[in-house]
Amino acid sequence: MALGVEAYKQSHFDEAEKHFVKAVEQDADNAMAHMYLATVYIQQYIPGAETPDNRRFAERGIEHYKAAINLDLPLAQEVNAVKGIGYLYLQMKNFDDAKSFYLRAAELDPNDSEAYYSLGVIDWTLTYQPRMEAREKLNLEPDASLPAKDKKACAALREKNWTNTEDGISNLSKAIQLRPDYDDAMAYMNLMYRERADVQCDDPKAREMDLRTADDWVDKTMAVKKAKIDKEKASTDSDSQKQ
């Protein structure tokens, strides 16, 4: 374990893997050995790279996170392991399993804003892809209204997307409640309201309201980002003056 940690700190992941594998072989009930091994694999995994070797890194990471979860882990480590599995499934585009594990993380720690944010990202992904496919079939321009073009297609898409849209808004709202300056979550709130606007098939006023709300979230996101930049600049200036 000590040799593995030292190799990991130096980014010698192949060497770290060998040491942690030996640690697991010698004590299969050592939860932290499985956690370290999973972390080594996740560090070597490249999101989006569709190669057998890269996929094996993800699968091994999931395998050892699951092994750790089944052993005696402190709550914080268990949450990290569950979110680690969710992250790997998300990057592999296995959205159902990713959502399942992030929901589990949120149940383990209801105050974890990151888990709710990740759920919101998954919800948006599950709605965006079908909507874009539907719009492409109708040859719609980016700013064109789906309801105005084809009410039947809109109704079919609404039935498919509505639950995920509402879940996404709910999950992102929870993330922002827990972290009021969560600008990434705010950016996705803008996107989720645009998803909902495009399936307000029989209610033009609701569509306009959703689009206005989406624009409001754009403004909020920009304001928070600016406040963070200003705060960082003020901190840097203060440090410079002290020196």
User: Tens digit of pLDDT for each residue in 2-46?
Assistant: 999 999 999 999 999 999 999 999 999 999 999 999 999 999 999
Same domain, 227 and 115: yes
| Domain contains 147 | yes
CATH of the domain at 103: 1.25.40.10
- The residue among 109, 126, 155 that closes a domain is 109
Same domain, 123 and 141: yes
pLDDT at 185: 98
Same domain, 98 and 127: no
| Domain contains 242 | no
**Cα Rg of the chain, angstroms:** 22
pLDDT at 235: 73
Same domain, 12 and 103: yes
Same domain, 59 and 38: yes
Same domain, 84 and 145: no
| Domain contains 243 | no
Same domain, 176 and 103: no
Q: Is the Cβ–Cβ distance between 129 and 192 less than 8 Å?
A: no
Judge whether residue 225 has pLDDT over 70: yes
**More confident call, 216 vs 235:** 216
Structure confidence by residue, pLDDT tens digits, 19-31:
999 999 999 999 9
pLDDT band at 128 (very low <50, low <70, confident <90, very high): very high
Judge whether residue 243 has pLDDT over 80: no
- The residue among 46, 76, 109 that closes a domain is 109
Which span out of 49-53, 151-155, 234-238 was modeled with the highest average pLDDT?
Answer: 151-155
- The residue among 81, 109, 137 that closes a domain is 109
Same domain, 55 and 129: no
Domain count, the chain: 2
| Domain contains 26 | yes
| Domain contains 240 | no
- Residue 224 CA from chain centroid, whole number: 20
Q: What angle do CA 173, 94, 109 make, to 5 degrees?
A: 40
Same domain, 66 and 163: no
pLDDT at 213: 98
Structure confidence by residue, pLDDT tens digits, 169-183:
999 999 999 999 999
Distance CA 67, CA 25 (A): 13
Enumerate residues 6+ apart whose C-beta is below 8 A from 50: none
Same domain, 128 and 214: yes
CB atoms within 10 A of CB 178: 17
Report, as an integer, the average pLDDT of 194-208.
Answer: 95
| Domain contains 189 | yes
pLDDT band at 231 (very low <50, low <70, confident <90, very high): confident
Outline where the chain has alpha helix (H): 2-9, 13-26, 31-44, 52-69, 75-91, 95-108, 113-137, 146-149, 151-178, 183-197, 204-242
Q: Is the Cβ–Cβ distance between 146 and 135 less than 8 Å?
A: yes
Judge whether residue 88 has pLDDT over 70: yes
Burial class (CB in 10 A: 0-12, 13-18, 19+), 165: buried
Q: What is the pTM of this model?
A: 0.88
Judge whether residue 239 has pLDDT over 70: no
Same domain, 138 and 73: no
Distance CA 36, CA 24 (A): 10
| Domain contains 236 | no
pLDDT at 240: 60
Judge whether residue 203 has pLDDT over 70: yes
pLDDT at 237: 62
Q: Which residue range(s) make up the domain with 84? A: 1-109
Minimum mean pLDDT among 51-55, 62-66, 235-239: which range? 235-239
Same domain, 121 and 214: yes
Distance CA 84, CA 78 (A): 10
pLDDT at 97: 96
Distance CA 165, CA 149 (A): 21
Place of tokens 């004590």: 27
